[in-house]
Chain A
Amino acid sequence: MVFADAGAHEPVARGDEPGTWCGQCGLALADGDHAACERRGALDPPRFCVHCRRRMKVQVTPAAWTATCVAHGSVERTTWG
């Protein structure tokens, strides 16, 4: 799945698509319980692409994070400000 609003060079915020894989642990969302992963998400940006499970390049800055999948583009989230 490719998002029209996501590009590797220009990170933009994207809707919260649930995807197939857990962005925290990289396992299938359909398998097992990811409640702990969800809790961890408050203090950890995602590391795995929810659409293809690739490890993403994640840049954390004081007020935001950007996670980039080589195939599915970037997601940026502002954490404050």
Chain B
Amino acid sequence: MLQRIWKAHNLMDLACKDLPCSLNIMEVCGTHTVSIFRNGIRPTLPANLRLLSGPGCPVCVTDQGYIENVLTLAGRDDIIIATYGDMIRVPSKNGSLEKRADNQNVKIVLSSMEALDIAKQNPSKTVVFVAVGFETTTPATAIAVRYAAAENIKNFCILSAHKTVVPAMEALLSSEKAKIDAFICPGHVSVIIGSDAYNPIVTKYKKPCVVAGFEPMQIIEGIAQICSQVAAHAPKVESMYHAVVTPQGNVKAKAIIDEMFEPADGVWRGIGVIKNSALVLRDKFSEFDAAKRFGLSDGHPEDMPGCHCGEVLCGLIDPPQCKLFATTCNPDNPIGPCMVSSEGACSAWFKYGRRKKRENKQ
């Protein structure tokens, strides 16, 4: 392993030593962010190689309007909210699901099928599944809805905040807010969508895209691969995750997403509306769409005051540049979702980053 690490660092040094400015690589996925911090990778990189955390933490990019809608539904006695764990602590001006959890109508689940089980066990209530996540979790939601339709389970529906990764990467590049030179593309998502999905980023924007798994060695070698592409001025899509990522991805999973969902414009925290970046249930299945069933609108309430999650998610600032970081905002009292989610950049900086003694003593 040491030899591989040494070789990777050589490639990085070679590419970075003559660069006129910094090389900014965005790790799109929150799981990468956590792995990079947990393995202490940042301090080992060349000084002018910067890693930016991207919009790949599903909890973080879910906009405040969606959170408010979930909270509104949670306030009703005839509804049970079934949600993945990380979502319950996302704060809003009206509290969080966790604070409502004493109502007993907020249940943490690990899968969409569990939410369906809750619906079967509680025929007098409507179970709303908080359907959040990228292409990794969407197939499971699709299967649950298909099952509910086939079995005629009417007291089940989903509030979809499912999103697709590539449109967000394109939006970041075309907005030109942050200087992004290359992407480390998400491992799990790429298993589903396939590495070919990143071709437009290379052809249109000439940015290297390297898919990596979550092992530290994969990430280091992925960064090194990007460096050699930069040095050779030859951007392309590459995969370090050969074992599981194919160019086409998981055709079956993509088919079921396509069967149940269609693309729509989606609101992203910090980025705003991105064309065709959301997935909503097709009209055929609209009775399972909680937004339609309960007449919810896509309000755009403001983010929590003082919170800069939006800028963090676009790679514009590092979390310590937010004034609230480690002062009023910490994992016990998160102000924004990037501190709530275990995949969030603020939480990773807080947990694993070196901080001043004063902050450690708090």
A joins B in a complex = no
B residues near A (Cβ < 8 Å) are none
